[in-house]
Amino acid sequence: MTELNTENVDRIFADCMFRSHEEYEECKGKNLYLFVNSIQNPTVKVGFHPERIEVHRHEIREMLSQLPDGFFPGSGDGASFLQACSTKDGQLWTGFHTEVEKLCLLGLASKQMRMLTPDAEIWPMLPGGMPYLSVEIEQ
C-alpha cells in the first residue's frame, strides 16, 4: 500500500504535472489536458497530464483511503480541507497545507475526490475558511 506521506504525495504530484511547455502544447493539441482549481488560491488552475494521473490512480486511491473517516460517504459525508492533514488514526502525515492541497488536487484530478463546496466565495463563511471535500472511493 502506498503510504500517505509527504514524499509520496510530492513524487506523484510532480510526475502528474506537465513537464514542459512543449509537452503541454502537444497535449493541448490532442485535447489531453486536465485543469483543477487551486484550493489555497482558487483563481489559479493547476494543470495535470491525464495519462499520468491515470497511471497513478491506484496510488492516489490508496493515499486517499488513509484520510479520516469523515471524508467518506456514510461516515461523515465530507470533511474540511483542514482535516486532511491527518490519517484515520489521528496521526499528522504533514504539517503543511501545501502538501494537503497537492493530495486533494490529485484526488480531484483523478475524480476520486469531490469538492462539496465548489463556490470559493462561500469558503470564508465555513469553519476555518476552507472548502469541504469527500472521497469518492470505497473504503
pLDDT over 70 at 58, yes or no: yes
Average confidence (pLDDT) over 95-121: 95
pLDDT over 80 at 110, yes or no: yes
Q: Is 96 a member of any domain?
A: yes
* Residue indicated by cell numbers 488513509: 66
Residue 52 in grid coordinates: 499520468
pLDDT over 70 at 8, yes or no: yes
Residue-range definition of the domain harbouring residue 110: 6-135
* Amino acid (1-letter code) at residue 112: Q
Q: Is 84 a member of any domain?
A: yes
Instruction: Work out the pLDDT band at 138, boundaries 50, 70, 90.
Output: low
Q: Is 34 a member of any domain?
A: yes
pLDDT over 90 at 2, yes or no: yes
Ramachandran angles phi, psi of 127, nearest 5° = -55, 125
Number of domains in the chain: 1
Residue 77 in grid coordinates: 459525508
Q: Is 1 a member of any domain?
A: no
Q: Is 56 a member of any domain?
A: yes
Helix and strand counts by DSSP (H, E) for the chain: 5, 5
Q: Write the pLDDT tens digit of every residue in 27-48.
A: 888 988 899 999 999 999 999 9
